[in-house]
Amino acid sequence: MLILTCPCCDVDAEETELHAGGEAHLTRFGPDSSAEDFETYLFQRENPRGVHFERWRHVYGCGKWFHAARCTATLEVFGTYSARTTEPPQDIRDRITARRPGWSWKEHS
């Protein structure tokens, strides 16, 4: 069972208490955008085998959204952090680098 710590209420929540919200840090495009930009925003996904950033909602708890950094190949959790950011914070990146040397933050479009 996947266990994530909600950074909003500091509760260790099992996955049944949470709801997965898909890839994090997508660039959102508005009404005047091109078809290509809309396609990228709505459908194209990194879907990496390895380090992945996701949105989660503590749906049966405080109800708040947060982000999690996880490895999709091992299910290891690197950490969770506030959703009020457009990219992973430095401490999360450092923790990932310690566990996955050579890893780099890909600029998601």
65: number of Cβ within 10 Å: 18
CA atoms of 49 and 28, how far apart (whole Å): 24
CB of 61 to another protein, least distance (A): 16
Using the minimum distance from each CB to another protein, give the nearer residue, 47 or 90.
47
Using the minimum distance from each CB to another protein, give the nearer residue, 44 or 82.
44
Tokens matching residue 109: 């479009």
**What are the residues whose beta carbons fall under 8 Å from the beta carbon of 13, sequence distance 6 or more?**
3, 4, 5, 6, 58, 60, 61
CB of 22 to another protein, least distance (A): 7
Residues near another protein (CB under 8 A) are 1-2, 15-16, 19-20, 22-23, 35-36, 38-39, 42-49, 52, 54, 70, 72-75
